[in-house]
Structure 1
């Protein structure tokens, strides 16, 4: 009888430690994707801070391109709003979709601004414009890397919460699925198809 109780106690202890280990792994994975999103937040905020300066420099030269400048300003405001919603709920499907759409709109508006700027040699040659464009380009690269790290962390978290036996613990403790950050790029050209 005593031996049976000891065996049952050992089995119960193993099950408890196993459950705690899985729970802690889920918490660590969730914190990892939230931290990865915080890195995206840093880079997007840097980008949002650069845009007003870029628009201000361009204003002097692009007096006839007011619509383009206003589109950039509006797209920036929408992206800032999308980021605020995503910061409140990193990983939420709705928040990530809103941020992705807003970022796609901002990317489109910025690319239109750069295309218009190409038509103005004085603006293109302006030292401030060149420096801001370079900083913006560098920031875009950092955003891409941060987004990739975030998406990798989300995938690891979702895998951990969906695979057996983690799904048992995740379901019991309310670990919700996290969504990837996918940025839609309007007007993105598909590669040409070659057929023989």
Structure 2
């Protein structure tokens, strides 16, 4: 069993940061410094701060940190308008009230959810991004059960990640979570799904259908 020396106790009492000297209202003082205290409790803690050196030190030690946050650009801390809009719509669905949508910010590019488009019988695509300089697209592709994609030759790298269902690429069968790499110049004779499937596809817009 360890015992403390009286001299150690005196040193701890003289140390302003020691737990022995910690004021029971120190946490309220920190909340006050962060402007997180309810308005009704502010007058009482301000009166306490006027007479408590320990809490005064607590607040003073937090000031530099708080000032750094205040100097940050507000766009770093504020969610995008599209995220706020999605949250507003979800809240509206749960509460049954009209959504309160945020106003568009000046200079901010708005993003809207793309729609599924039928590009061939049993095949739908949702375009996510287009790189015109590199002639590449990223998209979600959905095949209905029994649907097949025409034979084609890759003009560039083709990357496919299967999200759900099963997909055949020639003699290779993919399951959810599988990844397939198609080299430039290589070809797929038959791409089809017996069960129906959804995948993420990143490929060239110059692939050649055969």
TM-score normalized with structure 2 length: 0.22
Higher helix share: 1
Larger radius of gyration: 2
TM-score normalized with structure 1 length: 0.24
Higher strand share: 2
